[in-house]
Structure 1
Amino acid sequence: MNVPILPGDGYALTTLLIRQMLANDPFLSSDVILAIVRKQAELAGTVEGGAHAAQHG
């Protein structure tokens, strides 16, 4: 289910998620967390793009 997130709420949600990720893995820095999140988003985009292209190609 998609839930709309207003631009003003994006910051609060992002910081909440990063704080929780740091609490779960305190040995990681916030820079490492952001790099992991970016890579996961990149991979998800690649997978979705590939699946979409295969369905409509």
Structure 2
Amino acid sequence: MTPIERSKWCIQQAEEIEAGLVPSDEMDGLVPIGYCMAEWFRAVSRELADGSRVA
């Protein structure tokens, strides 16, 4: 899998996670783990995309 393909896969994972989540009102500054996981996948996707531009 190329970095661009992995980047796209990470975005797909984030979208699938977010599709199953209900809106949250961050009580006490806490964020549900699903939102954290989706953001992590998006961050990895950005890193992969940026790295492939450099290479």
TM-score norm. by structure 2 comes to 0.46
TM-score, normalisation: structure 1:
0.45
Greater relative contact order structure (CA < 8 Å, 6+ sep)? 2
Larger Rg: 1
